[in-house]
């Protein structure tokens, strides 16, 4: 592998060799209010509106929505390269409507929610609870009372672990996860199993690494000790989609509950919690066009009612005495203290935005552009992509490696070309050990990415590989 100590030389060489691409992404909004110099938008940019051989439908949605995301209309200061943002699996960009909703809360109705009788408190409370209704509708919950606002998906999983888990797990019980889990859906169960005496087990992948081995899961569950299956709906590395129906059917057969990490599914496809057959799902606002600092837990009414309080404080109580307290019903029971009001309101607006676009349309677009990404990356020599093929079904992301190169070095040079990807283990160290690699590079797309940006990635990756081969004499 190329030495990381050569990074300063690589940076300098990349800056010196960087050549601006021509083309356009359409007319950009005036970026002055967003802190970007308006004139910078007319300089060098990747051709982000079209690519040779790309079908019109793969261009249309991104071209239609592009102007809603002002952050994308900027150049990298050091090189003048137009930003190509391919890191949406880590965090999506935010449309102006969501940014405006967050700002408007603080400018127009900033006040604490619930209990206040004054005008601003009433307006803030209405907007906050309306956001809960919007999230509930977005995932087709039966009631907004099934939506609990949390700081993020990690907190939502910990909430279930330290309420339901602590109350229902004990020696002889088992929790089952898979080898592809994000650390957020693994570490909480390690901690709770250690505290309760329950056993944490995991299942592996299919032989082609295209998803978890449901047959192995079935065999584990047939032993009769599993109380909970906690797994990802869509892998943030492999891009594979879980057969939720099969897992939910197994769980029901053996009397187990299911928690679904939906961080990589809720932003990208229609998710209907009434048909999934699971007990809880968790999702993060910042991955679905919303702000950071807000996520949500959906649970069935039965599951939420069975969970005792976790954090104590204001809002989550019914009556408080010096020696005891009684507690509010869900969701208030799990929302102690002043919540992230502005963030919840902005998340509600993000749900509006995605609903207006249409989640069927988003999913169709991402399948198409995800296929373009896979096909074009696969055509680059020495590149290995992990996970299923598009024909098997995969999300619009690709975790990959280049033979003989470290993912960090690859992504560093891509960044110098203006292409933002992510390198490392993506909070899935066990999965990377399973795959036998220390790290991967990952390009992940969303509804604002274009075929032209996929071309920019492939062109820059090809240049990067050539650069390393030259300096290493390969």
Q: CATH code at 348? A: 3.40.640.10
Residue range 140-151: mean pLDDT, rounded? 98
Report how far residue 13's alpha carbon sits from residue 18's, in angstroms, rounded to the nearest whole number: 8
pLDDT band at 79 (very low <50, low <70, confident <90, very high): confident
Residues 6+ positions from 226 with CB-CB distance below 8 Å: 173, 174, 175, 176, 201, 220, 251, 254, 256
Most distant CA atoms of the chain, gap in Å = 76
Same domain, 264 and 393: no
Domain contains 423: yes
Domain contains 299: yes
The whole-number pLDDT of residue 473 equals 75
- Cα atoms found within 13 Å of the Cα of residue 41, Cβ hemisphere only: 18
Domain contains 26: no
pLDDT above 70 for 7: no
Report how far residue 281's alpha carbon sits from residue 299's, in angstroms, rounded to the nearest whole number: 7
Residue range 298-324: mean pLDDT, rounded? 97
Same domain, 390 and 333: no
Residues 116-143 pLDDT 10s: 999 999 999 999 999 999 999 999 999 9
Tell me if 445 sits within 8 A of 409, measured CB to CB: no
What's the alpha-carbon Rg for the chain, to the nearest Å? Answer: 23
The whole-number pLDDT of residue 36 equals 30
Burial code of 53-87, b = ≥16 C-beta within 10 A, e = fewer? ebeeebbebbbebbbbbbbbbbbbeebebbbbbbb
Report how far residue 254's alpha carbon sits from residue 226's, in angstroms, rounded to the nearest whole number: 8
DSSP 8-state code for residue 83: P
Residues 214-234 pLDDT 10s: 999 999 999 999 999 999 999
Same domain, 240 and 319: yes
Residues 198-208 pLDDT 10s: 999 999 999 99
pLDDT above 80 for 328: yes
Nearest to 112 by CA among 344, 339, 349, 346: 339
Count of domains for the chain? 2
The whole-number pLDDT of residue 59 equals 62
Report how far residue 55's alpha carbon sits from residue 429's, in angstroms, rounded to the nearest whole number: 37
Taking the mean position of all CA atoms in its chain, how far away is CA 312?
Answer: 29
The dihedral built from the CA positions of residue 185, 186, 188 and 189, taken in this order, carries a sign that is positive
pLDDT above 50 for 10: no
Q: The CATH number of the domain where 467 resides is what? A: 3.90.1150.10
One-character DSSP codes across 450-470: -HHHHHHHHHHHHHHHHHHHH
- C-alpha angle with apex 307: 304 to 310, nearest 5 degrees? 115
Last residue of a domain, one of 297, 326, 356: 356
Catalytic residues: 427
Helix (H, G, I), strand (E, B) or coil at 413: helix
Same domain, 390 and 297: no
pLDDT band at 474 (very low <50, low <70, confident <90, very high): low
Report how far residue 40's alpha carbon sits from residue 77's, in angstroms, rounded to the nearest whole number: 9
Nearest to 262 by CA among 246, 247, 279, 283: 283
The share of the chain scoring above pLDDT 90, in percent, equals: 85
pLDDT above 80 for 26: no
The whole-number pLDDT of residue 88 equals 98
Residues 80-104 pLDDT 10s: 999 999 999 999 999 999 999 999 9
Same domain, 425 and 406: yes
The whole-number pLDDT of residue 268 equals 98
The whole-number pLDDT of residue 57 equals 62
pLDDT above 90 for 436: yes
The share of the chain scoring above pLDDT 70, in percent, equals: 87
Residues 387-412 pLDDT 10s: 999 999 999 999 999 999 999 999 99
Domain contains 5: no
List the structure tokens of 452: 């032209």
Report how far residue 156's alpha carbon sits from residue 165's, in angstroms, rounded to the nearest whole number: 13
* Start-to-end Cα distance in the chain: 11
Same domain, 449 and 314: no
pLDDT band at 78 (very low <50, low <70, confident <90, very high): confident
Same domain, 72 and 211: no
Last residue of a domain, one of 356, 390, 414: 356
Residue range 101-115: mean pLDDT, rounded? 97
Where does residue 100 rank: exposed (0-12), middle (13-18), buried (19+ CB within 10 A)? middle
Domain contains 51: no
Domain contains 457: yes
List the structure tokens of 134: 């919007």
Q: Look over the chain and give the mean of its residue pLDDT values, rounded to a whole number.
A: 89
Domain contains 42: no
Report how far residue 56's alpha carbon sits from residue 71's, in angstroms, rounded to the nearest whole number: 24
Domain contains 14: no
pLDDT above 60 for 174: yes
Residues 251-278 pLDDT 10s: 999 999 999 999 999 999 999 999 999 9
pLDDT above 50 for 53: no
List the structure tokens of 324: 């005891």
Same domain, 352 and 363: no
* Measured CA distances, 406 to 7, 16, 454 (Å): 12, 22, 21
The whole-number pLDDT of residue 381 equals 96
Same domain, 363 and 338: no
pLDDT band at 48 (very low <50, low <70, confident <90, very high): very low
Structure-model confidence comparison of residues 350 and 37, the more confident one: 350
Give the domain extent around 119: 97-356
Same domain, 177 and 257: yes
Same domain, 178 and 279: yes
List the structure tokens of 248: 């939910």
Same domain, 211 and 312: yes
The whole-number pLDDT of residue 446 equals 98
Last residue of a domain, one of 314, 337, 356: 356
């Amino acid at each position: 592998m190329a030495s990381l100590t050569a990074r300063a030389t690589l940076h300098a060489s990349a800056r010196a060799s960087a050549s601006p691409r021509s083309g356009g992404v359409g007319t950009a909004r005036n970026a002055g209010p967003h802190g970007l110099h308006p004139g910078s938008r007319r300089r060098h940019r990747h051709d982000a509106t079209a690519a040779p051989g790309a079908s019109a439908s793969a261009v249309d949605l991104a071209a239609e929505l592009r102007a809603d995301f002002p952050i994308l209309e900027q150049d990298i200061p050091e090189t003048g390269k137009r930003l190509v943002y391919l890191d949406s699996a880590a965090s999506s960009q935010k449309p102006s409507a969501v940014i405006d909703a967050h700002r408007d809360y603080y400018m127009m109705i900033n006040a604490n929610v619930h209990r206040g009788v004054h005008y601003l408190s009433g307006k803030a409370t209405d907007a906050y609870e309306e956001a809960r209704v919007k999230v509930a509708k977005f995932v087709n919950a039966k009631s907004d009372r099934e939506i609990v606002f949390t700081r993020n998906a990690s907190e939502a999983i910990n909430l279930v672990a330290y309420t339901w888990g602590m109350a229902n797990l004990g020696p002889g019980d088992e929790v089952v996860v898979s080898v592809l889990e994000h650390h957020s859906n693994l570490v909480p169960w390690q901690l709770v199993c250690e505290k309760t005496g329950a056993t944490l087990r995991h299942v592996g992948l299919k032989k082609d690494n295209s998803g978890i081995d449901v047959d192995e899961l079935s065999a584990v569950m047939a032993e009769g000790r599993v109380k909970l299956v906690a797994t990802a709906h869509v892998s943030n590395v492999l891009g594979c989609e879980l057969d939720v129906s099969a897992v939910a059917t197994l769980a029901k057969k053996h009397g187990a509950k299911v928690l679904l990490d939906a961080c990589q599914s809720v932003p990208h496809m229609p998710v209907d919690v009434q048909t999934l057959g699971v007990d809880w799902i968790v999702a993060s606002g910042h991955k679905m066009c919303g702000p950071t600092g807000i996520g949500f837990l959906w649970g069935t009414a039965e599951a939420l009612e069975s969970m005792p309080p976790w954090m104590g404080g204001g809002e989550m109580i019914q009556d408080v005495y010096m020696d005891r307290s009684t507690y509010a019903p869900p969701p208030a029971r799990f929302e102690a203290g002043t919540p992230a009001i502005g963030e919840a309101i902005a998340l509600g607006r993000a749900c509006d935005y995605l609903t207006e676009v249409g989640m069927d349309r988003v999913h169709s677009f991402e399948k198409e552009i995800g296929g373009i990404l896979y096909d074009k990356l696969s055509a680059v020599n020495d590149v290995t992509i992990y996970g299923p093929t598009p024909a098997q079904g995969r999300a619009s992301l690709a975790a990959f490696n280049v033979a003989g190169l470290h993912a960090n070095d690859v992504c560093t040079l891509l960044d110098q070309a203006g292409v933002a990807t992510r390198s490392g283990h993506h909070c899935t160290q066990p999965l990377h050990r399973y795959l036998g690699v220390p790290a991967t590079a990952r390009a992940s797309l969303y509804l604002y990415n274009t075929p032209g940006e996929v071309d920019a990635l492939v062109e820059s990756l090809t240049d990067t590989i050539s650069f390393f081969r030259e300096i290493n004499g390969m």
